[in-house]
A and B are shown apart, each in its own frame.
Chain A
Amino acid sequence: MTDGERFADVQGSTDISDSAEMSIDYRREGGDSFPDPRLAPAARHPEKVERVILALFIIGLLGFAAFGALYWHGGRQPQLEGVFIGVGLMSLGFGLSSWGKYLMPRGPFVEERHPLAGEPQAQEVFKEALLGRGEYVVKRRGFLVGVMGLATTVFAIVAAFPFIRSLGPTPGDTLDKTSWKRGSRLVTADGRPVRADALEVGGILTVFPEGHAGSAIAQTVLIRAADVSITTKPGRESWAPRGYIAYSKVCTHAGCPVGLYQEQTQQLLCPCHQSLFDVLNGAQPVFGPAPRPLPQLPLMIDSEGFLRAQRGYEVPIGPGFWSRS
């Protein structure tokens, strides 16, 4: 390529501003000059920039070496590991970006856009080829196409089955029940039965049915709100002997364990979205997004002094779902 060809675009320009450019000296102090101002580096003092970039690259190199040395000797210092590799990478990065920004041709450069869509002629030809080619063989055979389409649709539907149905069992009535039964003894998380003197007034304990300690669904919060029997709602006179009230610990909003007990205001607060339940009033929600009270577990005290459930929860525990009636 001759000089003439190389700079044809530049020299061929007749714009006044271009000829004005050509008469200005683009020589940088003590440095190189370029025939086209766009090819000159952006920096006024490229040598100074070069020195800075060199320093940055050296820092980068040292950072990597330090990281390697640290690693070789056992590591165990996340802060230093991060600093060394981080400083190393960033120095290298700043050096390279500076090179690109300050030492490379400053431009601006241009390229043309070409229309995406084809000429109408070309579009017609394309559409003809796509639609028209097969048309002859498909015509009069629409029935075949229809049946193939039906077969493909059915395949698409049944192909989805393994990816959905095989994943798990259907819910059935699993969500309606817990493992609390008539006479289930209350136990703590490590399986120890709960006696009627386990809690002081104002105390709280997480309990489960015996044999299911740790169950996510049956988890129940046991509160001693008083030392005499409490009626939380009409019809529940026998449910809270000696002041022991038991509610499902699974929040009726989104299922988090309702673990915060405010023993003076007698409220249970759920930590996730701050639903507030009134302990003395059947865990009625008084604040926040929970829609329904926490189900209450009817308690009794057996002849040996252990706390038991009279029966299981009367309603499904936890958040709402479609078939919950």
Chain B
Amino acid sequence: MKAYLLIPISLVAVVAIVGPLSADAHGPALAASTAAASSPASFSQHPTTSNGTGGGSSGDSKGDASNIVHLPKSYVPEGRILFEESCASCHGPTAEGSSRAPNLVGLGEATIDFWLSTGRMPLSAPTVQPVEKPPRFNKKQILEIVAFVHSLGPGGPGIPKVNLHGASLTNGQSLFTLNCAACHTVTGAGDMLANGVFAPSLHIATPREIYEAIRTGPGNMPRFGPNTLSRKQVEDIIAYVRGPIQHPNNRGGIGLGGVGPVAEGFVAMLALAGLILVVFWIGERS
């Protein structure tokens, strides 16, 4: 008989414990958003923000000049040494290129910085598209090489100083889905394109790398210059990638890697298999 007393006691206990613990709980990634999260949903008829979707705003190269990293001239000789050791065998001693590697002169500091700091260069083996890997050089060495190549011929975008203060996630979402999702997928997971080319995953990209990739269009990626996407628009995209792409709001539970219906289909099959095991238990065999 004592066992039956346990039932109402545990009932009360559960209600008493679970209740207060769950009060005021927010979903995981919502905590990253601010106090504005508590307003109930409402749909107004008047736009409060403009829906910027990429376009030719006036060039911001003037603004760019104050927001780029200026490398000291003292880096050039060090960079020459590193370049001759690791890059000249394919790119030539003055970076003029060869049958194996492109001409690097005039491509801009941002380009060289991107390829080196994502570790795609130096190549470990010939391939259709280099993959991201731990960089061979440390940060200072990379800047030295960049300074050296830039000294061979000016031109191209500089290394940006990215400022995400005041970036708009909404604008970023809109620009990302228009310009980036077609290759990188809408969750930034990356996928295989044609002829062995692939769009890499965006999950470990740093703000500087994203800026450089957008401006310089590495490999088969298109190039979005200042007349296509303004600096503010690029920073909005970066904020969106660093936020909802790299830290997605997976309020619904296990995110399955953002792969989508393919992964969901597998889980549904697993669930069905589990239910069939239950059926196997309930029913008879033979």
A residues bordering B, Cβ < 8 Å?
A: 54, 58, 61-62, 65-66, 68-70, 72-80, 82, 84, 97, 100-101, 188-190, 192-195, 197-206, 257, 259-265, 267, 269, 271, 274, 276, 287
Tell whether B41 is near chain A: CB-to-CB under 8 Å: no
Among B50, B59, B217, contact of A202 (Cβ-Cβ < 8 Å) = B217
Given known contacts A262-B220, A264-B220, A265-B194, A77 and B282 CB-to-CB distance under 8 angstroms: no
- Chain A contacts of B278 at CB under 8 A? 97
Q: Is the CB of B220 within 8 A of A69?
A: no
**6 residue pairs, one from A and one from B, having the closest CB atoms:** A259-B182, A188-B55, A198-B56, A189-B53, A200-B225, A262-B220
Decide: A262 near B55, CB < 8 A? Known: A199-B227, A202-B217, A202-B222: no
Stretch in B17-25, B115-123, B160-168 touching the partner: B17-25
B18 touches A271 (CB 8 A): no
A276–B224 Cα distance when bound, in Å, is 22
B134 at the interface (CB under 8 A from A): no
Chain B residues near A70 (CB, 8 Å)? Answer: 18-19, 22
Cβ contact within 8 Å between A76 and B26: yes
Contact of B273 with A by CB under 8 A: no
On whether the beta carbons of A74 and B24 are closer than 8 Å, the reply is yes
**Which of A192, A201, A259, A264 has its CB near the most chain B CB atoms (within 10 A)?**
A264
**Beta-carbon contact of A66 and B193 below 8 Å:** no
Instruction: Give CA–CA (A205, B178) in the complex, Å.
Output: 9
Option from B59, B217, B227, B251 in Cβ contact (under 8 Å) with A263: B217
Q: Decide: A261 near B178, CB < 8 A? Known: A69-B14, A190-B51, A267-B194.
A: no
Chain A residues, CB < 8 A from B20:
73
B22 touches A74 (CB 8 A): yes
A-B contacts counted at CB < 8 A amount to 144
Q: A78-B253, A190-B51 are in contact. Are A204 and B195 (CB under 8 A)?
A: no
Q: Within the assembled complex, what's the spacing in Å between the Cα atoms of A61 and B14?
A: 10
Q: Mark B15-48, 1 if CB is under 8 A from A, else 0.
A: 1101110111111000000000000000000000
C-alpha gap A190/B49 in the complex (Å): 12
Whether A205 touches B54, Cβ cut-off 8 Å, given contacts A65-B11, A66-B14, is: yes
Contact A287 B194 (CB under 8 A): yes
A76 B27 Cβ-Cβ under 8 A: yes
Asked whether B19 lies within 8 Å of A72 as measured between CB atoms, the reply is: yes
